[in-house]
């Protein structure tokens, strides 16, 4: 029966152990982690390098690409017809723990990736700050007065830091990292990242550190210089746009791009948000603080901080119910 195959799905996380990671996902958020450094938790992933597996229900143990192969548009929706033709789930959702500075990097757009990365997708993303130690900043865009020529000269002199724009952050902030944005998470931040389903990164600067082999990690200067958005000078944090407010519920838009939209939904204890997956798009709901439940067709699945649930496009009517005061992210195409 189709009804048993269409339900909100949670997935077992896939972990990455890059050198800049730590243990904050365990010590702050109570995640069960493998031993050692954990830099990223991929929580909803159809990427071939780390596909996530459904935790329960009809699809338990099956990867997201396998589920997409079986359900097609009933999973992703008609708005993602191009991604369905490419057999690629549109979005990738991660948690990032910056125990050290990440490299300064930039991602290509779709056109550049299509031409230079074997037809791959570009990478537009957004961050929602879950935790930031006092005084934490991130690198976002270029400093005032920076030009292509000054940036190239700074690379050659080893003074790239002088070309970068820093922005203070705290929990609850959001950052829109469009393709072409020079950026880096810095030590002391934990963020949720919603992005295109791509893993293409061009590293510009890596703070002079070396990898486990004792050698500097590779840089990608030529590609980076070709894709940097030189007009992104001293950008600011996302300014939420209010969409709706009623007793116990406040809905704001954070980011709207050709690739995805992300909203923030704040719910008081006992309040709910009602929606309808009408076949056009899947939705991904993430609990950033508090605890809630996705309710549909007389059934329910719990989501707590920080956990995500994928609602198939053919799900129909649903409700997000807050069992305690909660902040949720809602992502869709």
Q: What is the DSSP string of 254-312?
A: EEE-SS-EEEEEEE-TT-EEEEEE-SS--EEEEEEESEEEEEETTEEEEEETTEEEEE-
Tokens of 86: 């490419």
Whether the pLDDT of residue 333 is over 50: the answer is yes
Measured between alpha carbons, how far is 181 from 230 in angstroms, rounded to an integer?
A: 9
User: What rounded mean pLDDT belongs to the chain?
Assistant: 96
Tokens of 47: 């990427």
pLDDT the model gives residue 212? 78
228 three-class SS: coil
Measured between alpha carbons, how far is 36 from 17 in angstroms, rounded to an integer?
A: 8
Report the percentage of the chain scoring pLDDT > 90: 95
pLDDT digits (tens, 9 = 90+) for 158-192: 999 999 999 999 999 999 999 999 999 999 999 99
What confidence tier does 50 reach under pLDDT thresholds 50, 70, 90? very high
Where would I find the H helices in the chain?
2-5, 24-27, 64-71, 73-76, 81-85, 110-116, 148-157, 221-227
What confidence tier does 15 reach under pLDDT thresholds 50, 70, 90? very high
Q: What is the DSSP letter of 233?
A: B
pLDDT digits (tens, 9 = 90+) for 89-118: 999 999 999 999 999 999 999 999 999 999
Mean local confidence (pLDDT), 31-36: 95
Mean local confidence (pLDDT), 279-305: 97
Tokens of 275: 């929606």
End-to-end CA gap in the chain: 27
pLDDT the model gives residue 2? 58
pLDDT the model gives residue 34? 96
- Return the C-alpha torsion angle 9, 12, 14, 17, nearest 10: 140
Whether the pLDDT of residue 1 is over 60: the answer is no
Whether the pLDDT of residue 3 is over 90: the answer is no
Domains within the chain, CATH numbers bracketed: 2-227 (2.60.120.10), 241-332 (2.60.120.10)
Report the Cα 328 to chain-centroid distance in Å. 14
Q: Give CA angle at 82 (222, 53), nearest 5°.
A: 85
- Give bridge partners of residue 308 from the DSSP assignment: 286
Whether the CB-CB separation of 124 and 161 falls below 8 Å is answered with no
Is 274 among the catalytic positions? Answer: no
Mean local confidence (pLDDT), 270-297: 98
Catalytic residue among 16, 86, 148, 203: 203
pLDDT the model gives residue 92? 98
Measured between alpha carbons, how far is 310 from 331 in angstroms, rounded to an integer?
A: 10
66 three-class SS: helix
pLDDT the model gives residue 39? 98
Q: Which of 243, 311, 259 is nearest to 9 (CA)?
A: 311
The alpha-carbon radius of gyration of the chain (Å, integer) is 20
Report the Cα 327 to chain-centroid distance in Å. 16
pLDDT digits (tens, 9 = 90+) for 221-270: 999 999 999 999 999 999 999 999 999 999 999 999 999 999 999 999 99
pLDDT the model gives residue 141? 98
pLDDT digits (tens, 9 = 90+) for 122-171: 999 999 999 999 999 999 999 999 999 999 999 999 999 999 999 999 99
């Amino acid at each position: 029966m189709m009804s048993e195959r269409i339900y909100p799905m949670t997935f077992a996380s896939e972990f990455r152990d890059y050198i800049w990671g730590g243990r904050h996902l365990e010590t702050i958020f109570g995640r069960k982690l493998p031993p050692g450094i954990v830099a990223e938790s991929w929580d909803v992933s159809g990427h071939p390098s780390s596909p996530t597996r459904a935790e329960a229900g009809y699809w338990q143990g099956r990867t997201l690409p396998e589920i997409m192969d079986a359900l097609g548009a009933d999973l992703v929706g008609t708005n993602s017809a191009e991604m369905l033709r490419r057999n690629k789930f549109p979005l990738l959702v991660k948690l990032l723990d910056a125990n050290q500075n990440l490299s300064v990097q930039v991602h290509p757009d779709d056109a550049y990736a299509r031409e230079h990365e074997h037809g791959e997708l570009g990478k537009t993303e957004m961050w929602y700050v879950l935790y930031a130690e006092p005084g934490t900043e991130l690198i976002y865009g270029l400093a005032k007065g920076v030009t292509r020529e000054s940036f190239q000269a700074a690379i050659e002199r080893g003074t790239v830091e002088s070309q970068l724009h820093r922005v203070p952050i705290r929990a609850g902030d959001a950052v829109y990292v469009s393709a072409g944005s020079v950026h880096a998470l810095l030590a002391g931040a934990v963020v949720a990242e919603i992005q295109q389903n791509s893993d293409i990164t061009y590293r510009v600067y890596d703070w002079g550190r070396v990898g486990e082999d004792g050698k500097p990690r590779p840089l990608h200067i030529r590609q980076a210089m070709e894709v940097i958005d030189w007009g992104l000078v001293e950008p600011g944090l996302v300014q939420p746009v209010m969409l709706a407010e009623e007793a116990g519920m406040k809905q704001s838009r954070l980011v709207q791009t050709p690739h995805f939209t992300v909203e923030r939904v704040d719910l008081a204890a006992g309040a709910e948000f009602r929606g309808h997956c009408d076949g056009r798009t899947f939705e991904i709901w993430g609990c950033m603080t508090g605890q809630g439940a996705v309710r549909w067709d007389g059934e329910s699945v719990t989501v707590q901080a920080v956990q995500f649930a994928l609602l198939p496009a053919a799900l129909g009517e649903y409700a997000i119910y807050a069992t305690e005061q909660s902040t949720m992210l809602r992502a869709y195409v």
